Amino acid sequence: MIEQIFDVAPLDEVEEGIFSCLGANERASSYDNKVDAYDMVVGNRFYNRFVWGNWPSAYREFCRQALASSRGGAFLDVGCGSLVFTAGVYAEAENKLIILLDRSIGMLVKGRDRITRIKGFVPNNIVFIQGDVFNLPFKTHVFDTVASFGVLHLFDDKYGLLSELERVKRNDGHLYYSSLVGNNAIGRKYLEILKQAGEVATCHSSESLGNLISTMSFEHKSNSIGNVAYFRSA
Protein backbone atom coordinates (compact mmCIF):
# COMPACT_ATOMS: atom_id res chain seq x y z
CA MET A 1 0.00 0.00 0.00
CA ILE A 2 2.75 2.43 1.05
CA GLU A 3 4.73 1.74 -2.14
CA GLN A 4 1.66 2.53 -4.25
CA ILE A 5 1.27 5.92 -2.59
CA PHE A 6 4.74 7.41 -2.29
CA ASP A 7 6.38 9.12 -5.21
CA VAL A 8 9.57 9.86 -3.32
CA ALA A 9 10.39 7.13 -0.80
CA PRO A 10 10.79 8.51 2.74
CA LEU A 11 14.51 9.05 3.21
CA ASP A 12 15.29 8.42 6.84
CA GLU A 13 13.70 7.54 10.12
CA VAL A 14 14.59 10.83 11.85
CA GLU A 15 12.87 9.98 15.15
CA GLU A 16 11.35 6.68 16.20
CA GLY A 17 8.40 6.08 13.87
CA ILE A 18 8.85 9.41 12.01
CA PHE A 19 10.16 9.39 8.46
CA SER A 20 11.43 12.38 6.51
CA CYS A 21 11.05 13.08 2.80
CA LEU A 22 13.27 16.16 3.09
CA GLY A 23 17.02 16.41 2.68
CA ALA A 24 19.19 16.56 5.82
CA ASN A 25 19.72 20.33 5.51
CA GLU A 26 15.98 21.05 5.10
CA ARG A 27 14.68 19.34 8.21
CA ALA A 28 14.61 22.22 10.70
CA SER A 29 11.36 24.18 11.05
CA SER A 30 10.44 27.33 12.93
CA TYR A 31 7.70 25.30 14.62
CA ASP A 32 10.22 22.93 16.25
CA ASN A 33 11.02 25.43 19.00
CA LYS A 34 7.47 26.33 19.87
CA VAL A 35 5.71 23.01 20.14
CA ASP A 36 4.98 23.30 23.88
CA ALA A 37 3.94 26.96 23.65
CA TYR A 38 1.74 26.10 20.64
CA ASP A 39 0.03 23.32 22.53
CA MET A 40 -0.50 25.45 25.62
CA VAL A 41 -2.04 28.40 23.75
CA VAL A 42 -3.71 26.79 20.74
CA GLY A 43 -4.88 23.77 22.74
CA ASN A 44 -6.64 25.99 25.28
CA ARG A 45 -10.41 25.74 24.91
CA PHE A 46 -11.10 29.26 26.23
CA TYR A 47 -8.56 30.82 23.85
CA ASN A 48 -10.36 29.09 20.98
CA ARG A 49 -13.77 30.07 22.23
CA PHE A 50 -13.03 33.75 22.86
CA VAL A 51 -10.59 34.55 20.05
CA TRP A 52 -11.74 32.22 17.28
CA GLY A 53 -15.34 31.62 18.38
CA ASN A 54 -15.02 27.82 18.32
CA TRP A 55 -14.85 25.17 20.99
CA PRO A 56 -12.19 22.55 20.16
CA SER A 57 -15.06 20.09 19.77
CA ALA A 58 -15.87 21.85 16.45
CA TYR A 59 -12.35 21.03 15.15
CA ARG A 60 -12.68 17.42 16.30
CA GLU A 61 -16.08 17.08 14.68
CA PHE A 62 -14.74 18.43 11.35
CA CYS A 63 -11.87 15.92 11.54
CA ARG A 64 -14.39 13.11 12.24
CA GLN A 65 -16.40 14.15 9.19
CA ALA A 66 -13.27 14.17 7.03
CA LEU A 67 -12.27 10.74 8.27
CA ALA A 68 -15.78 9.34 7.73
CA SER A 69 -15.72 10.55 4.11
CA SER A 70 -12.70 8.31 3.44
CA ARG A 71 -14.79 5.19 4.23
CA GLY A 72 -11.87 3.39 5.80
CA GLY A 73 -9.55 4.10 2.84
CA ALA A 74 -6.31 6.06 2.48
CA PHE A 75 -6.41 9.33 4.44
CA LEU A 76 -3.88 12.18 4.52
CA ASP A 77 -3.68 15.07 7.03
CA VAL A 78 -1.30 17.80 5.78
CA GLY A 79 0.08 20.07 8.51
CA CYS A 80 -1.25 17.69 11.18
CA GLY A 81 0.79 19.47 13.86
CA SER A 82 0.90 17.96 17.34
CA LEU A 83 -2.58 16.39 16.94
CA VAL A 84 -3.67 18.60 19.84
CA PHE A 85 -7.30 18.32 18.72
CA THR A 86 -7.27 15.22 16.56
CA ALA A 87 -5.20 12.52 18.32
CA GLY A 88 -8.26 10.86 19.87
CA VAL A 89 -10.00 10.70 16.49
CA TYR A 90 -7.02 9.17 14.68
CA ALA A 91 -6.15 6.77 17.51
CA GLU A 92 -9.51 5.03 17.14
CA ALA A 93 -9.76 5.13 13.33
CA GLU A 94 -9.74 1.82 11.47
CA ASN A 95 -8.67 3.18 8.07
CA LYS A 96 -6.31 1.00 6.09
CA LEU A 97 -3.86 3.96 6.03
CA ILE A 98 -3.62 7.33 7.78
CA ILE A 99 -0.65 9.49 6.84
CA LEU A 100 0.03 12.38 9.21
CA LEU A 101 2.38 14.83 7.50
CA ASP A 102 3.95 18.00 8.86
CA ARG A 103 6.97 20.19 8.10
CA SER A 104 8.06 20.13 11.76
CA ILE A 105 9.63 17.07 13.34
CA GLY A 106 8.96 18.58 16.79
CA MET A 107 5.24 18.71 16.06
CA LEU A 108 5.27 15.16 14.72
CA VAL A 109 7.06 13.87 17.82
CA LYS A 110 4.42 15.48 20.01
CA GLY A 111 1.66 13.99 17.85
CA ARG A 112 3.24 10.53 17.95
CA ASP A 113 3.52 10.75 21.75
CA ARG A 114 -0.14 11.74 22.05
CA ILE A 115 -1.26 8.73 20.02
CA THR A 116 1.04 6.51 22.09
CA ARG A 117 -0.43 7.84 25.33
CA ILE A 118 -3.95 7.05 24.15
CA LYS A 119 -3.33 3.60 22.64
CA GLY A 120 -0.15 2.48 24.38
CA PHE A 121 1.49 2.22 20.92
CA VAL A 122 1.28 3.70 17.43
CA PRO A 123 -1.20 1.59 15.43
CA ASN A 124 0.18 0.03 12.24
CA ASN A 125 -2.18 2.03 10.03
CA ILE A 126 -0.75 5.41 11.18
CA VAL A 127 2.39 6.75 9.51
CA PHE A 128 4.18 9.99 10.47
CA ILE A 129 5.96 11.82 7.65
CA GLN A 130 7.97 15.02 7.52
CA GLY A 131 7.19 16.75 4.24
CA ASP A 132 6.21 20.00 2.57
CA VAL A 133 2.64 20.87 1.62
CA PHE A 134 3.85 22.55 -1.60
CA ASN A 135 5.69 19.45 -2.75
CA LEU A 136 3.95 16.42 -1.34
CA PRO A 137 5.92 13.17 -1.72
CA PHE A 138 2.93 11.26 -3.09
CA LYS A 139 1.75 10.02 -6.44
CA THR A 140 -1.19 11.74 -8.11
CA HIS A 141 -4.78 10.86 -7.11
CA VAL A 142 -4.02 8.30 -4.43
CA PHE A 143 -5.91 9.40 -1.29
CA ASP A 144 -9.60 8.84 -0.62
CA THR A 145 -9.60 11.92 1.60
CA VAL A 146 -7.09 14.73 2.03
CA ALA A 147 -7.42 17.03 5.05
CA SER A 148 -5.55 20.11 6.18
CA PHE A 149 -6.70 21.85 9.33
CA GLY A 150 -5.56 25.36 10.20
CA VAL A 151 -2.79 25.60 7.59
CA LEU A 152 -4.20 27.67 4.68
CA HIS A 153 -4.00 30.99 6.57
CA LEU A 154 -0.23 30.55 6.94
CA PHE A 155 0.36 31.11 3.23
CA ASP A 156 -0.49 33.70 0.58
CA ASP A 157 0.04 31.11 -2.15
CA LYS A 158 -3.37 29.53 -1.62
CA TYR A 159 -3.53 28.29 -5.19
CA GLY A 160 -0.23 26.41 -4.85
CA LEU A 161 -1.33 24.81 -1.60
CA LEU A 162 -4.82 23.80 -2.72
CA SER A 163 -3.59 22.53 -6.10
CA GLU A 164 -1.20 20.20 -4.33
CA LEU A 165 -3.93 18.89 -2.00
CA GLU A 166 -6.18 18.35 -5.04
CA ARG A 167 -3.40 16.62 -6.94
CA VAL A 168 -2.97 13.83 -4.39
CA LYS A 169 -6.72 13.35 -3.81
CA ARG A 170 -8.50 10.74 -5.92
CA ASN A 171 -10.80 12.24 -8.54
CA ASP A 172 -13.79 10.88 -6.66
CA GLY A 173 -12.17 11.55 -3.28
CA HIS A 174 -12.78 14.28 -0.71
CA LEU A 175 -10.94 17.35 0.49
CA TYR A 176 -11.54 18.93 3.90
CA TYR A 177 -9.66 21.99 5.13
CA SER A 178 -10.05 24.90 7.50
CA SER A 179 -8.55 28.34 7.87
CA LEU A 180 -8.53 31.06 10.47
CA VAL A 181 -10.32 34.14 9.16
CA GLY A 182 -11.05 37.64 10.44
CA ASN A 183 -14.83 37.75 10.51
CA ASN A 184 -15.00 40.06 13.50
CA ALA A 185 -12.83 42.69 15.16
CA ILE A 186 -11.14 40.23 17.53
CA GLY A 187 -10.24 37.83 14.72
CA ARG A 188 -8.95 40.62 12.48
CA LYS A 189 -6.88 42.16 15.30
CA TYR A 190 -5.40 38.82 16.29
CA LEU A 191 -4.54 37.87 12.72
CA GLU A 192 -2.94 41.30 12.24
CA ILE A 193 -0.72 40.73 15.30
CA LEU A 194 0.21 37.25 14.05
CA LYS A 195 0.95 38.65 10.58
CA GLN A 196 3.29 41.26 12.04
CA ALA A 197 5.04 38.47 13.93
CA GLY A 198 5.49 36.64 10.59
CA GLU A 199 3.22 33.78 11.68
CA VAL A 200 0.40 34.09 9.15
CA ALA A 201 -0.33 35.52 5.69
CA THR A 202 -2.80 38.24 4.63
CA CYS A 203 -5.99 38.27 6.70
CA HIS A 204 -9.21 37.28 4.90
CA SER A 205 -12.82 37.15 5.99
CA SER A 206 -14.76 33.97 5.19
CA GLU A 207 -16.35 35.83 2.31
CA SER A 208 -13.15 37.16 0.73
CA LEU A 209 -11.41 33.81 1.17
CA GLY A 210 -14.35 31.93 -0.36
CA ASN A 211 -14.42 34.38 -3.28
CA LEU A 212 -10.69 34.05 -3.82
CA ILE A 213 -10.89 30.25 -3.83
CA SER A 214 -13.79 30.19 -6.27
CA THR A 215 -11.84 32.41 -8.70
CA MET A 216 -9.22 29.63 -8.74
CA SER A 217 -11.93 27.33 -10.14
CA PHE A 218 -11.94 24.99 -7.17
CA GLU A 219 -15.44 23.83 -6.35
CA HIS A 220 -15.26 23.91 -2.58
CA LYS A 221 -18.25 24.53 -0.33
CA SER A 222 -17.73 26.41 2.91
CA ASN A 223 -19.35 27.29 6.18
CA SER A 224 -18.03 29.36 9.06
CA ILE A 225 -18.15 29.26 12.80
CA GLY A 226 -16.81 32.44 14.40
CA ASN A 227 -13.39 33.18 12.92
CA VAL A 228 -12.84 29.77 11.34
CA ALA A 229 -13.86 28.88 7.78
CA TYR A 230 -14.45 25.19 7.01
CA PHE A 231 -14.18 24.01 3.41
CA ARG A 232 -14.92 20.73 1.71
CA SER A 233 -14.82 19.70 -1.93
CA ALA A 234 -18.24 19.75 -3.58
Ligand X SMILES: C[S@@+](CC[C@H](N)C(=O)[O-])C[C@H]1O[C@@H](n2cnc3c(N)ncnc32)[C@H](O)[C@@H]1O
* 132 interacts with ligand X by CB under 6 A: yes
Contacting ligand X within 100-129 (CB under 6 A): 102-104, 107
* 164 interacts with ligand X by CB under 6 A: no
* 48 interacts with ligand X by CB under 6 A: no
Q: Which residue is nearest to ligand X (CB)?
A: 81
Binding ligand X (rule: CB under 6 A), the pick from 10, 79, 123, 137 is 79
Choose between 100 and 142: whose C-beta lies nearer to ligand X.
Answer: 100
Q: Using CA atoms, how far apart are residues 211 and 139, in angstroms rounded to an integer? A: 29
Binding ligand X (rule: CB under 6 A), the pick from 109, 151, 175, 191 is 151
From the list 46-54, 89-97, 147-155, 189-197, the region that binds ligand X by CB under 6 A is: 147-155
Which stretches of the chain are DSSP H helices? 2-5, 35-42, 45-52, 56-69, 87-91, 105-119, 158-168, 185-196, 206-215
CA 223 to chain CA mean position, Å: 18
CA dihedral 206, 86, 58, 150 (to 10 degrees): -10
Quick one: which of 117, 115, 120 has its CA closest to 93?
115
- Rule CB under 6 A: which residues touch ligand X? 29, 31, 78-81, 84-85, 102-104, 107, 132-134, 149-151, 154
